[in-house]
Structure 1
Amino acid sequence: MGKSGYLTLRAGAEAQGEFEDRRSRFIAQLVHVADEAAADAFIAEVRARHHDARHNVPAWILSDGRERCSDDGEPSRTSGMPTLEVLRGAGLADVCCVVTRYFGGTLLGPGGLVRAYTAATQQAVAAAEAEGAIVEMTLVTPVVVQLPYALYDRVSRLIDEAGGKVKDSLFLEDVQLTCAFRAGTEAPFLAAVSELACGEELARAGDPRFAEF
């Protein structure tokens, strides 16, 4: 997405929001998806779950910038696009939202539909926030450090000072630390470890990727 981070839902979490207007019920269901296939699978699952509903309107955004929405039989641009706009506005990616509509017998008109789909999706996003299900994904560089026990305390301090986090520790003949740094901030740490080890390469940086930091 050309950014250093984005928000998403925690894997496995599902948030729901509901809005009612003139007896039409709009139920927004929001989940984390890793790719288009996962979005398609969730859309199919919701359609099965609410097979008696008049419409199941899907919208999804991926962190690679791809996004899609459908009006699923509602008048053009009254449902899928407003749902997508709420996800965009919340800074979310790798998410899919399906808004189910049970028709209440009264036509709401284009303005009423836009309001209803927007409100239901906003409720789902608010519910996800309230449940602590929204997580920040940051572009991080993984760094693996292999070091003798004698340097463990010094290197732990250097990780702290450089703003890194230890994600995993293995204590064998040597200590192996798997760390994460916000992408672009790992260089001073690598230089400090190299100096501490008199030029020996104890720390290796991997390729940056999006992860919870």
Structure 2
Amino acid sequence: MTYPVPAKQVETLYEIKKSKFIACAGFANSRESAMALLESVKQQYPDARHHCWAYVFGNPNAPSSAAMADDGEPSGTAGKPILNVLQHKDIGDIMIIVTRYFGGIKLGAGGLVRAYSAAAQQAIDALDVRQEIKLEPLSVDIDFKHEQFVRHLVEQAKGKIANCRYKSSVMIDIELPLDALDNFKKQMAPIAFKVSAKNE
């Protein structure tokens, strides 16, 4: 299961009636990473009046989480338009922060909605994406002699080995693409092993 995510962070500038809307779009797949991105933008533009944002985590067709904030703008005029742009794009694990510098001319509620939407859209248009492969964590308990075989299977499946513990047997924590799980278990069938979800 793959879906597009931001390949790198981008920043764009949208200006209307002397107000500047600086949009930053980047990868975020957790509340912590999203807030870290927000903090970095705040540090970059400490004198700005507003840092409005929205994010969507996980597969864009079935997000695991979504949130937004108006950061002092009238309710519904900033975070919601940014989130609306995100929800109509096929990109997951993404956050957009729009920093506003007031230019002295009030835009009104409708004007703010249009401006924040346009700023977010501009950032999306400038964004490069890459394919994110959703990995499933598993723990495999095997005999020492099968370790290299398992490592080979994981590499073939384009998975990752997160950890390896040696006791009376070898416990390997692995991460595999969801669509490779069944084949992995079939190939493991000839050897004695125990497999369990890593979070069990």
Alignment of structure 1 residues 189-200 onto 2, 5 Å: 189-195=184-190, 200=192
CA drift at 1:166: 5.7
Matched, 1:120 2:113: no
Q: Could you tell me the TM-score, scaled by structure 2's length? A: 0.68
Match of 1:67 in 2: 66
Give the root-mean-square deviation of aligned CA atoms: 4.0
Match of 1:85 in 2: 84
Whether contact under 8 Å (1:141, 1:182) holds in the other structure is no
Matched, 1:8 2:5: yes
For residues 55 and 160 of structure 2, what CA distance do their matches in structure 1 show?
30
Matched, 1:136 2:129: no
CA drift at 1:180: 5.8
Match of 1:187 among 163, 182, 190: 182
| Cα distance, 1:194–1:38 mapped onto 2, change above 3 Å | closer
Secondary structure in 1 aligned to 2:86? helix
Matched, 1:56 2:51: yes
Secondary structure in 1 aligned to 2:77? coil
Superimposed CA distance per residue, residues 84-120 of structure 1 (whole angstroms, 9 cap, x where no aligned partner) = 1222222444433210112222222323222221121
Secondary structure in 2 aligned to 1:165? coil
Whether contact under 8 Å (1:165, 1:179) holds in the other structure is no
Letter in 2 for 1:138: K
* Unaligned ranges ≥5, structure 2: 162-171
For residues 73 and 24 of structure 2, what CA distance do their matches in structure 1 show?
18
Structure 1 runs of 4+ with >6 Å offset: 143-149
Whether contact under 8 Å (2:135, 2:159) holds in the other structure is no
Match of 2:98 in 1: 99
| Cα distance, 1:65–1:189 mapped onto 2, change above 3 Å | closer
Match of 1:174 in 2: none
| Cα distance, 1:179–1:73 mapped onto 2, change above 3 Å | closer
| Cα distance, 1:107–1:67 mapped onto 2, change above 3 Å | same
Match of 1:42 in 2: 37
| Cα distance, 1:15–1:146 mapped onto 2, change above 3 Å | farther
Whether contact under 8 Å (2:173, 2:198) holds in the other structure is no
For residues 38 and 95 of structure 1, what CA distance do their matches in structure 2 show?
10
| Cα distance, 1:47–1:186 mapped onto 2, change above 3 Å | closer
| Cα distance, 1:121–1:141 mapped onto 2, change above 3 Å | same
Superimposed CA distance per residue, residues 50-108 of structure 1 (whole angstroms, 9 cap, x where no aligned partner) = 22223221222333733322222222211110111222222444433210112222222
Matched, 1:30 2:29: no
Match of 1:165 in 2: 158
Q: Could you tell me the TM-score, scaled by structure 1's length? A: 0.65
CA drift at 1:14: 1.9
Letter in 1 for 2:12: G
Superimposed CA distance per residue, residues 134-159 of structure 1 (whole angstroms, 9 cap, x where no aligned partner) = 4424244668688979x97xx969x8
